[in-house]
């Protein structure tokens, strides 16, 4: 196990108050745990490199009544079957569907998958959420 190190941080009182409210809302056990989570999140962002293997989720909402949209989305997903590990489909209402895809590969490949799917006419909103393989985090 790595050595635990204590250090001090100076913050503006208003910023600290906002941070404490964040800690309460998120139900962190301590400021330390909340700070560790923020640091890890920042490191994950740095890990998301075009040439490194990484993972993520792509979430998008679309109107399934748009002509040929479902077929187009399925064809794109087949084109990127190496990067798409799993998917979940959910009917939101009579007109709209939610799709969540788990993706893995080089960052540049995953971005291509996301761009290809989110840019199709009829997709109302989409977001690629980066994650990490965890190899570089402790």
Q: What is the DSSP track for the chain? A: -PPP--------HHHHHHHHHHHHHHT-S-HHHHHHHHHHHHHHHHH--TTSEEEEEEEEEEETTSTTHHHHHHHHHHHTTTTEEEEEEEE-SSSEEEEEEEEEEEHHHHHHHHHHHHTSTTEEEEEEEE---STT--
Give the pLDDT score at 53.
83
> Over its length of 138 residues, how does the chain's per-residue pLDDT go in tens digits?
678 888 888 889 999 999 999 999 989 899 999 998 888 777 766 666 667 788 999 999 999 999 999 999 999 999 999 999 999 999 999 999 999 999 999 888 999 999 999 999 999 999 999 887 666 665
pLDDT at site 58: 97
Would the pTM of this model clear 0.95, i.e. be above it?
A: no
């Amino acid at each position: 196990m790595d050595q635990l190190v204590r250090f001090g941080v100076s913050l503006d009182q208003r910023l600290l108050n906002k941070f404490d409210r964040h800690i309460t809302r998120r139900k962190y056990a301590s400021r330390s745990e909340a700070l560790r989570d923020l640091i890890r999140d920042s490191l994950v962002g740095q890990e998301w490199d075009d040439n490194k293997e990484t993972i993520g989720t792509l979430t998008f909402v679309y109107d399934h009544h748009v002509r040929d949209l479902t077929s187009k989305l399925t064809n794109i997903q087949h084109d990127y079957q190496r990067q798409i590990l799993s998917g979940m489909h959910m009917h939101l209402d009579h007109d709209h569907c939610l799709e969540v895809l788990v993706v893995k590969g080089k960052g540049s490949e995953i971005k291509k998958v996301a761009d290809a799917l989110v840019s199709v006419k009829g997709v109302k909103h989409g977001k690629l959420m980066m994650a990490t393989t965890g190899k570089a985090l402790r």
